[in-house]
Amino acid sequence: MAAFAACTMLAPAAAVAGDFAQVRPIGFSADGGIFAYEEFGIQDGSGSAYSNIYFIDTAKDEYLPGSPIRVQAPENDSSLRRVRAEAAAKASPAVAHYSLNEHPGQLVALNPYSEVGPAGDTLRYYAFPAEPRVGQPYTIKLTETPAPVPEICSGLVEKSVGFRLEFTEKAGKPSNQSAYSENRTPQSRGCPTGYRIAGVVTYDGAPQTIHMALVMVLRLGFEGMDGRWLAVPLKP
């Protein structure tokens, strides 16, 4: 599944201060079948800028061939502008082919790790911003699930976790519909210790509205906990 490979490995070391990537939704294909986003930041430990661009088949929850696109600067090179421009140039043929810039969708909910107050496991939102309100709200809940500690993380973390997502409210009505679940934690996710339901992007594609959950992965990094992003297609 696409969520399985969204995070690259980092060699952990003493806890000082990790890095939390920023996220930028790029857009959808006209039919909502493809979604792309970028995560970027300055890697802790090496001090190098990075940019990762992901193209996701929203029906299959799989990456497109050649995705993700990853660009990372040499050690101590923090030139985000150059690295992001290089990643964007590599991604531009697919962005143009699927007309992703023509269909940006809507960032309808955002609850980053720095937000104070809202719970990290629940987001309630309307599918589209409008005044007066259109339709009824949705509520998505994230539940962490036990997972074996990966061999590479043995002795570094006490536990490893996966996650599942469910709708507890759909269009204003109570629900217990599973929206995403996994039966294993991919090695490419590193040493995950927790998750946060951090945002939702929607798009009014045919034949139904597409909901993409933005999940933040908390994992052991070079100098502390790092935050990386997964985009998970939901089934409303």
Chain segment 120-149, per-residue pLDDT in tens: 999 999 999 999 998 999 999 999 998 888
pLDDT tier, 169 (very low <50, low <70, confident <90, very high otherwise)? very high
The pair of three-digit structure tokens given for residue 131, joined into one six-digit string: 């005044």
The pair of three-digit structure tokens given for residue 225, joined into one six-digit string: 């906990």
Buried/exposed code over 49-59 (b: 16+ C-beta within 10 A; e: otherwise): bbbbbbbbbbe
* Three-state SS at 20: strand
Q: How many domains does the chain have?
A: 1
Please state, in angstroms and rounded to a whole number, the distance separating the CA atoms of residues 44 and 186: 22
User: What would the 3-class secondary structure string for 145-172 be?
Assistant: EEECCCHHHCCCCCCEEEEEEEEEEECC
Is the pLDDT score of 223 beyond 50? Answer: yes
Q: Are 21 and 229 in contact (CB under 8 A)?
A: yes
* Three-state SS at 86: helix
Residue 100: give the domain boundaries. 2-233
Average pLDDT over residues 76-102: 96
Read off the pTM: 0.88
Please state, in angstroms and rounded to a whole number, the distance separating the CA atoms of residues 94 and 111: 29
DSSP letter assigned to residue 150: P
Q: Of the candidates 51, 10, 36, 18, which has an alpha carbon nearest to the alpha carbon of residue 187?
A: 10
